Structure 1
Amino acid sequence: MWWSYQDVEEQKARLQREIEKRKKRGDKFQVLEAPAGQKKLCTTFWGQAWCRNLESYQVYESRLPRGRSYLRQGKVFNLEIEPGKLSAVVAGSELYDTSVSIQPLPKKQWKQIVESSAGQVGSMLDLLAGKLGDDLMKVLTDPVNGLFPKPKEIRFNCSCPDYADMCKHVSAVLYGVGVLLDTKPELLFTLRGVDQAELLSDASSAAITDLSADAGELAGADLSAIFGIDLATEIPIEEPALVEAKPAKKKAAKKAAKKKRK
Structure 2
Amino acid sequence: MSSKYWTDIPQYSQPNASELRQKSAASRKKEKAKGKILEPVTAKGRMIVNEWWGKAWCDNLERYADYESRLDRGKRYIRTGAVIDLKIQKGKILARVQGTRKTPYKVEIRISPLSEEKCQAIIQRCGRKLENLEALLAGDFPEEMKELFQSKEGLFPSPNEISFSCSCPDWALLCKHVAAALYGVGVRLDENPLLFFELRGIEVGRFIDVTLANRVEAMLANAGNKTGRMLDEGEIGGLFGVI
Q: Is the pair's TM-score, using the shorter chain for normalization, greater than 0.5?
A: yes
Residues 121 and 132, structure 1, Cα contact 8 Å, conserved in 2: no
The residue type equivalent to 1:116 in the other structure is R
CA change 1:203–1:66 in 2 (3 A) is same
The residue type equivalent to 2:212 in the other structure is D
Following superposition, the deviation at residue 163 of structure 1 comes to: 1.0
> Number of residue pairs matched?
201
SS of residue matched to 1:31: coil
Following superposition, the deviation at residue 43 of structure 1 comes to: 1.4
Show the counterpart of 1:79: 86
The residue type equivalent to 1:58 in the other structure is A
1:46-102 deviation digits (Å, cap 9, x = unpaired): 111111111111110111111011001111012100000001110011210111011
- Unmatched segments (≥5 aa) in structure 1: 207-262
Distance 2:12 2:116 in 1: 51
Show the counterpart of 1:101: 110
Show the counterpart of 1:46: 53
Residues 24 and 81, structure 2, Cα contact 8 Å, conserved in 1: no
Show the counterpart of 1:34: 43
Following superposition, the deviation at residue 121 of structure 1 comes to: 4.5
Following superposition, the deviation at residue 196 of structure 1 comes to: 4.1
RMSD: 3.0
Residues 54 and 188, structure 2, Cα contact 8 Å, conserved in 1: yes
Residues 123 and 204, structure 1, Cα contact 8 Å, conserved in 2: no
- Structure 1 length normalisation: TM-score? 0.67
Following superposition, the deviation at residue 133 of structure 1 comes to: 3.5
SS of residue matched to 1:122: helix
The residue type equivalent to 1:133 in the other structure is E
CA change 1:202–1:168 in 2 (3 A) is same
Show the counterpart of 2:195: 187
Distance 2:18 2:195 in 1: 36
Show the counterpart of 1:112: 121
- Structure 2 length normalisation: TM-score? 0.72
Show the counterpart of 1:202: 212
Show the counterpart of 1:20: 29
User: Which residue, 114, 127, 130 being the options, matches 2:140?
Assistant: 130
Residues 122 and 204, structure 1, Cα contact 8 Å, conserved in 2: no
The residue type equivalent to 2:191 in the other structure is T
CA change 1:61–1:10 in 2 (3 A) is closer
CA change 1:17–1:126 in 2 (3 A) is closer
CA change 1:193–1:48 in 2 (3 A) is same
Following superposition, the deviation at residue 158 of structure 1 comes to: 0.5
**Structure of higher CA gyration radius:** 1
Show the counterpart of 1:140: 149
1:86-140 deviation digits (Å, cap 9, x = unpaired): 0111001121011101111111221123223332341545125434133x21112
